[in-house]
Amino acid sequence: MKRLLLVIGLSLLLHAASAFPKGKISIEITPDRTEDWRYSAGDSVAYDIVVRVDGKPLKNASVKYTFAREKMPAHETHQATLPDGRLRVRTVGMPCPGFLTCRVFLLDEKGAAVANDLAQAAFEPEKLRPMTDMPEDFAAFWERAKAENAEIPMDPRVERAEQWCTDKVDVYYVRLQSFRKDNYVYGYVSVPKSKGPHPAVLYVPGAGVAKTKPSTYMAEKGVITMTLGIHGIPLDMPDENYDILKNGALYNYQFVNLDNRDQYYYKRVFMGCIRAIDYLFTRPEFDGERLMVSGGSQGGGLSIVTTALDPRVKYFVCFYPALCDHMGYLYDRAGGWPHMFDRTRTYFRTAERILNSRYYDAANFARLIRVPGFFSWGYNDLSCPITSMYSAYNVVDAPKELVLELRNGHRRSERQNRLADAWMLRRFFGEK
């Protein structure tokens, strides 16, 4: 009898374990103002939830859902069963500008989350402003840094990168000295073989430590293209070397030396971007006028910074910028990547670091921009919180265009890339 009960028990367990459907799970969450996901402060908001497996609504799906201000702890948590895989939930909206997150967790038979997703509704984002303030000596500090950088000989080393050349583009591997003696910045320069002179674009990189490759796409359209590595390491090492550096000497580089505003990691990075522009101006194929900076994430922040620092930049493209409004977390709202002052790093909140962060905040650089810019991001980006991005965008006092891909997180769609490329080519060559 005991053996029979054991067999029955095991059979039931196996049945339960196999009851949860297998397949591709998707959770779609849509604010009820479907066109723009925008609300006025004080409005309530509803989110429509659909759980699917292999494209079909999952009947009797069990979910947990939460509401929270962006990057803040949840202030509401609920559970529900979705008889036909669908559910509308409603909550009180935000009383002030910002973003309200609805996150949905699909639960298995044991109540464990097997998948989750989120959607963020916007409440008057055009009214968001940075929580950081601009130091009185901000401009003087960076003018001094640029003057010191200019005193360092460029000492360029340029080699033809034969393996990357095409019938339309010549590619060169470049090493430039910047910031201090024997400190180098590396990049690839792709030069059109077509008759010049040509405009130029500097592509600045996203966060991380990885091998950098040249870009020839815009060069084939008549634009000199420079792709930059910021870490002062060669770009053509074996892949394993980057993993070693990422987990070793360059681990958490974004926090290094913030105690000292003259030694913080990004000072050398910013000056490396300026030095790359210095080099582009030495290329005889460059027309000396039409210059753009472009990047996403960390590169988006660097595109803002480089544009503000160097008046030779005439246009910029910025996807989901990092480095914006570091101090947001000190005021109980989302700050930008690298989230240096969030609630998991209260130990990092020293007076020196907080004050020094203002000199390296892309939102303060954004206040200085006076040339046209193209911006693009999605509403569901938690790597570079949307609150921090709007805080920088809203203080840009120059012609600007913002393209939204509402569902996107920390990535860009083909549509975003296509529109950005078209914007770039119009600025360089006019309407065709």
Q: What is the C-alpha separation between 412 and 432, in angstroms, rounded?
A: 26
Q: What is the C-alpha separation between 158 and 176, in angstroms, rounded?
A: 9
8 Å CB contact between 202 and 291: yes
8 Å CB contact between 252 and 345: no
Q: For 198-304, list the strands marked E by DSSP.
A: 198-203, 224-229, 286-296
What are 431's two structure tokens?
């309407």
Q: For 258-319, list the strands marked E by DSSP.
A: 286-296, 315-319
8 Å CB contact between 259 and 352: yes
Q: What is the C-alpha separation between 52 and 106, in angstroms, rounded?
A: 10
Alpha-helical runs (H) found in 367-431? 386-393, 414-429
Q: How far is CA 330 from the centre of its chain?
A: 21
Please identify which residue in the block is written with the tokens 């320069």.
189
In this structure, what are the phi and psi dihedrals at residue 118, rounded to the nearest 5 degrees? -150, 165
- The torsion angle over the Cα atoms of residues 396, 398, 403 and 407, rounded to 10 degrees, is 10
8 Å CB contact between 384 and 324: yes
C-alpha distance from residue 292 to each of 100, 176, 286, 408 (Å): 34, 20, 12, 25
Q: Which residues are catalytic?
A: 297, 381, 410
Please identify which residue in the block is written with the tokens 């601009």.
134
Map residue 242 onto helix, strand or coil. helix
8 Å CB contact between 215 and 190: yes
Please identify which residue in the block is written with the tokens 């980057």.
242
Closest CA relative to residue 125, chosen from 394, 408, 413, 428: 394
First-to-final CA distance of the chain: 85
